[in-house]
Amino acid sequence: MKKIIGVMVLITCLLIFNSGCSKSDNPKPSKTFVLVHGAWQGTYVWQFVKDGLEKLGQKVIVVELPAHGNDTTPAANASIDIYRDKVIAAINTANTKVVLVGHSMGGMVVSAVAESIPNKIEKLVYVAAFVPASGQRLVDLAGQDAQSQLGPSLIPSADHLTLDITPANRIAIFCQDGSATVKQLLNDKFRVEPAIPFGMPVTITAAAFGKVDKYYIHTAADQAIGINLQKQMVLAAEITKVYSLNSGHSPFLSVPDSSTNILMTIVK
């Protein structure tokens, strides 16, 4: 009898041990985040959030749009379509659905991506981003923004292919709440923006874009895209899952930990 009891106790212990091992050896799968920057910026702006997400076990793909950062595409060749296709190519390298995140002008791009490959996107996240209705252009939306300080600071090139920003106003517009290091990074990496995509419409449909799960992260102290326009776009797009940061236009630089925490909350 004692032997039988001993065997039963041993079996029970083994079952408990194996159960514990099973849980630790099979953690919850990580998500794959695809991060898309906005105008006048490049992949470098996501570096702190990328690091934060990866430390939490997430996979991260950062996309550099053509004619931005170190990409050598001529400004004359830039378009919403080639931006879209660059992001789609990045998503296709993942073997799973992705959490697609777009900032500012990148909101136009990720909207076009969601229309093209809705079944590859688990969640679509706008960070202080433009959210177009079908047929809208970035200039249509920006023209409704009475709070933005960007418009008066724009400097078109003589050939109208690029847009510069008055140097003295760049930091105040994009990251007035950033550290001295962040502000220097933005100045050092600044590059004029291709103008043509700003006038290109994005077409979306209820059958494709409409079925993607959407989120918006407001930036309450934004001086590039005013909070009133942000709220107006969210209302028009019927986005009900909304978060807010008390930051300027580039929260991934000024408050990267808070930005990372919200993204992790969204995927829980």
Average pLDDT (119-137) is 98
Task: Tell me, yes or no, whether 100 lies in a domain.
Answer: yes
**Residue 208 domain boundaries:** 28-267
pLDDT confidence of residue 230: 98
Task: Tell me, yes or no, whether 16 lies in a domain.
Answer: no
% residues pLDDT > 90 (the chain) = 89
Residue 105 belongs to a domain with what CATH number?
3.40.50.1820
Task: Tell me, yes or no, whether 142 lies in a domain.
Answer: yes
Span 74-107, pLDDT tens digits? 999 999 999 999 999 999 999 999 999 999 999 9
Task: Tell me, yes or no, whether 159 lies in a domain.
Answer: yes
Span 21-45, pLDDT tens digits? 444 444 567 999 999 999 999 999 9
Span 109-124, pLDDT tens digits? 999 999 999 999 999 9
pTM for the predicted model, two decimal places: 0.90
Task: Tell me, yes or no, whether 123 lies in a domain.
Answer: yes
Span 48-74, pLDDT tens digits? 999 999 999 999 999 999 999 999 999
pLDDT confidence of residue 225: 98
Task: State how many domains the chain has.
Answer: 1
Q: Check if the beta carbon of residue 104 is closer than 8 Å to that of residue 130.
A: yes
Q: Check if the beta carbon of residue 35 is closer than 8 Å to that of residue 61.
A: yes
Q: Check if the beta carbon of residue 106 is closer than 8 Å to that of residue 113.
A: no
Q: What is the CA radius of gyration of the chain?
A: 22
Average pLDDT (143-154) is 97
Task: Tell me, yes or no, whether 3 lies in a domain.
Answer: no
pLDDT confidence of residue 52: 98
pLDDT confidence of residue 28: 61
Distance in angstroms (rounded) separating the CA atoms of residues 259 and 60: 14
Task: Tell me, yes or no, whether 83 lies in a domain.
Answer: yes
